[in-house]
Amino acid sequence: MKYKLILLIFLTVCIQLACKKKITPTTTPITTVPTTEVNTTIDITRADKFQQIDGFGFFGAQDVWWGNASNMYSDAWATTALTDLGVTIWRDELHPPATPTVPQDADWNKHKPVVEGLVKIAAQYKVPLKFIFTVWSPPASMKVAMDANGEPLSGTPNTGGTKGTGNAAGTLDPAQYAAFGNFLADGIQQYKDVGATIYAISPQNEPLFKQSFNSNFYRPARYSEMLKNVVPVVKARFPAVKIFGAENMLEIEAEKDRQYFYSADLMKTPDALNNLDIWAYHGYLEGISPTASSKLTTLWNVIQTEYTKPSGKPVWMTETSGYGENWLKTGNKPGAFDLAIDIQSALIYGNASAWVWWQGSELAGIGEYNLMQGTTRGKKYFASKHFYRFIRPGARRVKLTFNSSDGVMGSAFEHTGLGNFVIVLINSSEKPVKANLTGAAIPNEFDYYLSTSLDECKKRDTKVSKADIILPAKSIVTLVNGSFQE
């Protein structure tokens, strides 16, 4: 009897303790948000409209072009890129033909299955995919050597062919303008033959630099001259194709010495400027590291003030990389969170209508130059997805006023065709922020997608009110009202 009484008391105590114990959920669909410390108001004015979005994208195949041809494409990779990440621009290189002394990473036989696969997946899922390409070098047969000032020595073959540093980089022979125009048009025709309509082309990648890989140097005046003479040849065969350029570095083109570079020369050469449809810049610092976020407001404002607004032409960012796979900056290497800030800066301060990453996928792993390893997705992938997946081509940015002293940075977009409204908010502070959205005709509730160092563009199970938007510290939040499917 004594032992039964002791056992009864023991069981009673256990039951009482169990009743008091908290039950921990088995799943955590989104990071628990700590107590809000900062309140901020974000005002949206839908009547004030800015750029219309052309799209977001990346360069290249499932693996780098110098890799094994059998690894270039898979339906799974294309489906992930187009339907999960949300790619709507795909950038390619128009490779020049190989020569006996200068091999090439790829030719059309290597490109063709990738283009055909992307056409198929885009049609299957109704993705409005834009195909664009850039030339790294004209064919070796069209290039000549340069003098000490970088001027072409017409008729003197370039010893470096399509590749070379210093003067061995060579330049396009002015006598070959018509031939080069037809080379570009023939490239467009190759895509057309497999069902891909080329939306836009760039006649030269980074014309200032002379590289051991395919490259071609132009003095600014020669670049303008090339546009004057080559673009009419292309447009005679493909009048709808757009021309973008000069794809020089943003920091070079917008810094104080910009009067010596391509944008400035185009502005004073009307015949050339008339043949350019889209300004395009690369978001690197000295061609290696991404431009520091702190500089972007000034740089993009210069581009707007001096080039895009006076010319009435849109602007794209068509290449960047160099961000690590950590969420935050590590040492001198910016992380995925920094990438989101830089995309946001281009949209807000540059009125950029397109953003294109460098290499989309590389099978060796996810490093600073790529977003994916086949279908394996990295942190930069998810940071990019906040823009790529939800801000669809045809969306129009509207005015959003944020208080940067609260650490908040935001952009808002309406898409009349899809009937949606999308807001991307970034909290760069160390504290969580509670945001209240104000303004006429703002939806009352939104689907909520969150990325932090732990969350990867996760959707909250329930909708959130416009008066109660929680932004965790160092986070990206995308709010969606309506459908973002095409």
| Domain ranges, ordered by start, for the chain | 1-52+396-486, 54-390
- Please report the pLDDT score of residue 285 as a whole number: 64
Collect all residues with Cβ–Cβ distance below 8 Å to 87 and sequence separation of at least 6.
55, 56, 57, 58, 81, 127, 129, 360, 388
pTM of the model: 0.92
- Please report the pLDDT score of residue 293 as a whole number: 64
CATH no., domain 1-52+396-486: 2.60.40.1180
- Residue by residue, pLDDT tens for the chain (486 residues) are 433 334 343 434 343 433 333 333 333 345 454 555 899 999 999 999 999 999 999 999 999 999 999 999 999 999 999 999 999 999 999 999 999 999 999 999 999 999 999 999 999 999 999 999 999 999 999 999 999 999 999 999 999 999 999 988 999 999 999 999 999 999 999 999 999 999 999 999 999 999 999 999 999 999 999 999 999 999 999 999 999 999 999 999 998 878 789 999 999 999 999 999 999 999 986 555 666 667 888 999 999 999 999 999 999 999 999 999 999 999 989 999 999 999 999 999 999 999 999 999 999 999 999 999 999 999 999 999 999 999 999 999 999 999 888 999 999 999 999 999 999 999 999 999 999 999 999 999 999 999 999 999 999 999 999 999 999 999 999 999 999 987
- Please report the pLDDT score of residue 257 as a whole number: 79
Given the candidates 1.25.40.10, 3.20.20.80, 3.40.640.10, 1.20.1300.10, the CATH classification of the domain at 54-390 is 3.20.20.80
- 156 bridge partner residues: none
- Please report the pLDDT score of residue 256 as a whole number: 82
- Please report the pLDDT score of residue 485 as a whole number: 82
Collect all residues with Cβ–Cβ distance below 8 Å to 166 and sequence separation of at least 6.
210
In this structure, the number of other CB atoms found within 10 A of the CB of residue 449 comes to 23
Whether 81 and 357 have beta carbons less than 8 Å apart is answered as no
Whether 446 and 466 have beta carbons less than 8 Å apart is answered as yes
- Please report the pLDDT score of residue 21 as a whole number: 33
- Please report the pLDDT score of residue 260 as a whole number: 82
- Please report the pLDDT score of residue 473 as a whole number: 97
- Please report the pLDDT score of residue 287 as a whole number: 54
- In SS3 terms, the chain reads as CHHHHHHHHHHHHHHHHHHHCCCCCCCCCCCCCCCCCEEEEEEEEEEEEEEECCEEEEECCCCCCCCCHHHCCCHHHHHHHHHHHCCCEEEEECCCCCCCCCCCCCCHHHHHHHHHHHHHHHHHCCCCCEEEEECCCCCHHHEEEECCCCCEEEEEECCCCCECCHHHHCEECHHHHHHHHHHHHHHHHHHHHCCCCEEEEECCCCCCCCCCCECCCCCHHHHHHHHHHHHHHHHHHCCCCEEEEEEEEHHHHHCCCHHHCHHHHHHCCHHHHCCCCEEEEECEECCCEECCHHHHHHHHHHHHHHHHHHHCCCEEEEECCCCCCCCCCECCECCHHHHHHHHHHHHHHCCCCEEEEEEEECCCCCCCCEEEECCEECHHHHHHHHHHCCCCCCCEEEEEECCHHHCEEEEEEEECCCCEEEEEEEECCCCCEEEEEECCCCCCEEEEEEECCCCCCEECCCCEECCCEEECCCEEEEEEECCCCC
Whether 277 and 242 have beta carbons less than 8 Å apart is answered as yes
Name the pairing type of β-strands 278-282 and 242-249: parallel
